[in-house]
Amino acid sequence: QKEVEQDPGPLSVPEGAIVSLNCTYSNSAFQYFMWYRQYSRKGPELLMYTYSSGNKEDGRFTAQVDKSSKYISLFIRDSQPSDSATYLCAMSGRDDKIIFGKGTRLHILP
């Protein structure tokens, strides 16, 4: 089983819809969970960061971590065409090694 699994998509949703992006992982030692956004032909940029379980909200974005199920999610409310990008989950534990998911391509249709 791979350490981090993420559906590559593409995921196409209409503008204004709620988007749900997910990753599963196998390493129970992971305690830091991140979402990066990568626009086409650009470098990734950190979007959200959470520590341990629970929810974190920032504007239209909510990051959710369920450590018991080894499952993390990113929700985007009122999606906009400018949200079209690749979203990478990333996680790390005490050894400071960061593992990235392969990314999900998201298209928001106007």
The contact set with another protein (CB under 8 A) reads 8, 31-32, 41-46, 49, 51, 88, 91-98, 100-103
Return d(Cα 38, Cα 100) in angstroms, integer.
13
CB of 46 to another protein, least distance (A): 5
CB of 68 to another protein, least distance (A): 20
* Nearer to another protein (CB atom), residue 18 or residue 46: 46
CB 90 within 8 A of CB 98: yes
CB of 15 to another protein, least distance (A): 27
Return d(Cα 9, Cα 97) in angstroms, integer.
26
* Nearer to another protein (CB atom), residue 51 or residue 71: 51
* Nearer to another protein (CB atom), residue 44 or residue 74: 44
Given the structure tokens 């979007």, which residue do they identify?
Answer: 47
Span between the terminal Cα atoms of the chain, in Å? 37
